[in-house]
Amino acid sequence: MEFTISSDKSQQILDISDSVKRLVAASGVEDGVCNVFVPHATAAITINENADPNVCLDILDALDALVPSGRWRHDRIDNNASAHIKASIIGPSESIPIKGGSLQLGTWQDIFLCDFDGPRERRVIVTIIKKV
Ligand code: ZN
């Protein structure tokens, strides 16, 4: 299963929890694992706080401080090396346990797609595995 989501900024962290939860509900799986994967080299998946939107902005600021743009070899190709490096730091997927038909996210956790080279449309692949 998969869905698409569009960013509208050069760097943006988007909450995709509702879309993932809909697919989990549609699967009918009560106990298992849900893997959320982004098939892009300049985007990533993370799980973090859903209450204060500044957390997502702080993550972007921290990654900007850690990985300044414009000083990498790959910038000579398409000027987005920092986006590739940030995507590798965060990683392309997360796996969340499913119990009683629900994702076992904590109260303050949601699932986010990080787009480091937007704006553009991104694919998100969701694989739901039933516990045997
Ligand atoms: Zn590139």
Domain ranges, residue 65? 2-130
**pLDDT recorded at residue 128:** 98
CA proximity to 27, closest of 132, 122, 98: 98
Mean pLDDT across 1-11: 97
CA of 29 to the centre of ligand 1 (A): 38
Percent of the chain residues topping a pLDDT of 90: 100
**How far is Cα 132 from Cα 119, in angstroms, rounded to an integer?**
41
Provide the pLDDT confidence category of residue 16 given band limits of 50, 70 and 90.
very high
pLDDT tens-digit series, residues 24-34 = 999 999 999 99
* Residue 51 CB coordination number (10 Å): 10
Q: In CATH, what number is assigned to the domain containing residue 38?
A: 2.60.120.460
| CB-based contact 16:5 (threshold 8 Å) | yes
**How far is Cα 2 from Cα 66, in angstroms, rounded to an integer?**
31
Instruction: State the total domains in the chain.
Output: 1
pLDDT tens-digit series, residues 41-96 = 999 999 999 999 999 999 999 999 999 999 999 999 999 999 999 999 999 999 99
**pLDDT recorded at residue 100:** 97
* Residue 26 CB coordination number (10 Å): 10
CA of 62 to the centre of ligand 1 (A): 21
**pLDDT recorded at residue 13:** 98
**pLDDT recorded at residue 93:** 98
Peptide bond between residue 53 and the one before it cis (omega within 30 degrees of 0): no
CA of 78 to the centre of ligand 1 (A): 5
CA of 2 to the centre of ligand 1 (A): 24
pLDDT tens-digit series, residues 95-127 = 999 999 999 999 999 999 999 999 999 999 999
Contacts of 53 (CB under 8 A, 6+ apart): none
- The one-letter code for the residue type at 115 is D
